[in-house]
Amino acid sequence: MEQETKWVIQINEELKSINGGTWEHEKEQLWKRHCIYKIPPRVTALNKKAYKPQAVSFGPYHHGEEHLKEMEDHKHRALIHFLKRCKKPIEVFYHCMNEVVEELRDSYNPLDPIWMQDTPRFVQMMILDGCFMLEVLRGSDTTAPNHYADNDPVFGEHGKLYVVPYIKRDMLMLENQIPLMVLRILIQVETDTTQGDELLMEQILKFFSPGTVETGKMEVKCMHVLDVYRKTLIQQGPTHRTRVSKASRRKLWWGSWEQEGEIIRSATELQDAGVQFKKSRSQSLSDVSFMKGVLRLPTLVVDDTTEYMFLNMMAFERLHGGAGNEVSAYVFFMDTMIDSEMDVAVLHRTGIVVNALGSEKAVAQLFNSLSRDVAVDGEGVLDVVRMSVSNYCKQPWNLWRANLIHTYFRNPWALVSLVAALFLFALTILQTFFTIAQYYQPPDHSSPFIIPSPRPWHRP
């Protein structure tokens, strides 16, 4: 009875706060600060390995796991090098980080109560992980001086070749993020400048996307490294516009395409229908367009990290309200076009897919598995492209051309049979023509080869 009374009192207090507007406002502000999420089992069940770091932990979710403890000593060394180089006391960094500790903790959803109770330990983790991440980012800059030994197991040349690639992959996992604010504060205190954002973005882009995106174009605020990398892939707008009729512009969920017969065909079938594939002018995943029978797609390098990268970006879009749906829409669009290794071969020949996996069948299986249990917005750019491609394929000439190729030109024996039949048909027509022409042509008596018919003989 006492517990029931406490619960009733709690509900009444929450109702009062809702009427005053404070409770709902606080919840809304808290949701805005969430940006790093523990991925639910319903998502990780499809591929558990894709969401778990293998070399190093960043943040609280995987901190202290046995197979990641080896890197903790290297984090401590990185902090010492960082402090020695910037010549600033650790107390300054600790004080600045402690001032925003509540905002940093609110970035995680959920967060174990142990990190809420032990503030010094949480701040220590943020500083260690942040300094280590900065040292890794700066290690890829060949123009900057390297204060580490050549045989350093992480920051030396050997470490850059065999260890840093695994760290780089772990830095793109949603559960393995730290707020970008941590790195920003470290840079600002280190350099005594308020331009920490610009310097930080430059280092991240050089590390993940060297030479592809200019720093000045990153106008949108980012929340963590994964968010930065995702926005570099989608930030550039389409270079070509896709035209589609107003009647086709309607809101559709991805599951309704198949019901209405609007699901896009495979790359092989589109090619048979006369669709040409060309590379987009930019590398943005949003730069997909269709005009005058030409489907333009950005170049994508498919390697061992592609699966981890896409799954974590798609998990972020699924869990973070307002993140957008661009990556999920792109993956779903590619999956609809890739059914088999023949479709991968078509896209590979046109330079759209750069296959670093070796097997075209492996690339097809990769995209088929990525889009499982994926929902995309029915009003996105790619849905307009899908509608336009579908309308193009439904035109009588393109439909007849696709059916002809599919029926006769896929099988070489069917092609031989068709050519032979056409040849025999042509011979039959020619024979008929000459027969009819000979019948109607009058005889030429002037020809020396014509023997005159004998006169009838009469008895005298």
pLDDT for 269-304, tens place per residue? 888 888 889 999 888 998 999 998 899 999 999 999
Q: Which of 212, 257, 229 is nearest to 385 (CA)?
A: 257
Distance CA 316, CA 411 (A): 45
Are 178 and 267 found together in one domain? no
Q: How do residues 156-211 score in pLDDT, each as one tens digit? A: 888 999 999 999 999 999 999 999 999 999 999 998 877 778 888 888 988 987 65
Residues 218 and 261 in one domain: no
pLDDT band at 459 (very low <50, low <70, confident <90, very high): low
Strand ranges in 269-410 using DSSP code E only, listed in sequence order:
276-279, 289-291, 294-297, 300-302, 353-355
Model-wide pTM > 0.75 = yes
Based on the fold, state whether residues 151 and 95 are members of the same structural domain. yes
The mean pLDDT value for 431-457 works out to 62
Residues 105 and 218 in one domain: yes
Nearest to 188 by CA among 105, 130, 125: 130
Range 451-459 average pLDDT: 55
Q: How many domains does the chain have?
A: 2
Same domain, residue pair 140 and 286: no
Q: Is 40 inside a domain boundary?
A: yes
Domain hosting residue 129, numbered range: 30-224
One domain for residues 204 and 310:
no
Q: How confident is the model at residue 50 (pLDDT cuts 50, 70, 90)?
A: very high
pLDDT for 425: 75
- If asked whether residues 367 and 312 sit together in one domain, one would say yes
Q: Tell me: pLDDT of 444 over 60.
A: no
Q: Which amino acid is at 371?
A: S
Mean of pLDDT values over 251-269 = 57
Same-domain pairing of 194 and 304: no
Spatial separation of the C-alpha atoms in residues 279 and 297, rounded to whole Å:
5
The CA distances from residue 372 to 44, 46, 306, 357, in Å, are 12, 8, 16, 21
Please identify, among 333, 359, 394, the residue that sits at the C-terminal boundary of a domain. 394
Is residue 239 within 8 A of residue 289, CB to CB? The reply is yes
pLDDT band at 447 (very low <50, low <70, confident <90, very high): low
| Interatomic CA distance for residues 125 and 95, integer angstroms | 14
- Both 52 and 139 in one domain: the answer is yes
Check pLDDT > 60 for residue 396.
yes
Q: 65 or 407, which is more confident?
A: 65
Is residue 16 one of the residues assigned to a domain? no
Is 415 a member of any domain?
Answer: no
What's the whole-number mean pLDDT along residues 396-414? Answer: 58
Q: Is the pLDDT of residue 137 over 60?
A: yes
Phi and psi torsions of 197, nearest 5°: -60, -45
Indicate if the pLDDT at residue 240 is higher than 80.
no
pLDDT score at 250: 44
Q: What is the pLDDT of residues 202-213, one digit of tens each?
A: 889 889 876 555
Residues 66 and 123 in one domain: yes
For residue 435, pLDDT beyond 60: yes
